[in-house]
Amino acid sequence: MADGPVFDPDIDEWLRQRVQAPTAADTSVEGFRIHLRAGNELALGRLPDPPVAAAERDVVLETSGGPVPARVIEPATRLTDATIVFFHGGGWVAGDEHTHVQYSRRLAVETGSTVVGVGYRLAPEHPFPAAFDDCLAATLHVAGATPGRTAVAGDSAGGQLAASVAIACRDRGIPLAAQLLISPVTDVTGGYADPHVNARHPSRADRADGYGLTLAAMRWFAEQYVPSGPGEDWRVSPLRASDLTGVAPAAVHTAGFDPLRDEGNAYATALQAAGVPVIHREWPTLNHSYFALGGVTTTAEHAAQQAATDLRTLLTTPQPPTATPASHTTTT
């Protein structure tokens, strides 16, 4: 057997328990939504010292594209002038501004910034580009309605939305201070079913099953969100954008045991090649959903804290930090 990183045993046991959970049996869209919500609540309950915001409130953003629900999180100690617009994961199918509220709380508390968690429309009821349209509209609304700078952040499908929104803001001349992309989707071309596209990202085969998110699940998510196209549009596949020059400085975090690892790494490389300041870290022993698993393993907690630290660095450094090589790896 070849030498290499060993999958975190605590997360491995966590996943075994989640597979046996009663909510795992229903494989319908609604069943997946219930299972994701239950898992996030359970993971939150495992955190020994969860971040506590100073204030939280539900709002409706009256954007140019229509009303978008959101949850606003305020830090007790403000360290930046920024407002971070956060887009949750869940394969464009599940989740909302409440299921991922602990993600927003962490970013608010640990960056010292206001966070606006966006409840964008979900597939399959609202296929592409509904989620992108909502996230862009919310970001433009926040940028125009709040003082200080604006940043975007997201995990998984939310990371894709953040990356694509950053491109759209560049195109509209709306400067963003930073983007944080956690285990992002970046290349939906072929819907995760095209062998030629999959071959470009070897982690789709190497990590296809057994580590939480599966390649089969990504095919299903793509079918729900992009049912009528190959997914080449940069609004869902930012890696396919023709030009990334001038997009916001980025922190890109990927996980070694994630089928999306290589497309996330490829996006960090593409950003750097376009001259974008990039902080890139790959966590070799963690899986796709590590950002929520700080109460399961200390490695995930450290990685989640580091993501917030990297975003805070981008928001507090007068000049963006020198781009780090896309192959940079942080281990613990």
**Any catalytic annotation for residue 288?**
yes
Among candidate residues 104, 113, 156, 237, the one labeled active-site is 156
Q: How far apart are CA 220 and CA 198, in angstroms?
A: 15
The question of whether 98 is a catalytic residue gets the answer no
Which residue is it, tokens 């970013």?
107
Q: What is the C-alpha to C-alpha distance for residues 182 and 169, in angstroms, rounded to an integer?
A: 19
Q: Which of 35, 201, 288, 310 is catalytic?
A: 288
Q: Known catalytic residue: 258?
A: yes
24, two tokens: 């795992």
Task: Provide the H-helix boundaries in the chain.
Answer: 9-19, 29-46, 101-111, 130-145, 157-171, 195-200, 203-206, 215-225, 261-273, 298-316
CA distance 156 to 103: 12
Q: Residues 280, 322: contact at Cβ < 8 Å?
A: no
β-pair partners for 86: 117, 153
Contact between 87 and 139 under an 8 Å Cβ cutoff? The reply is no
What angle, 0 to 180 degrees and rounded to 10, lies between the N-to-C axes of helices 157-171 and 130-145?
Answer: 60
Cα of first residue to Cα of last residue in the chain, in angstroms, is 23
List active site positions.
156, 258, 288
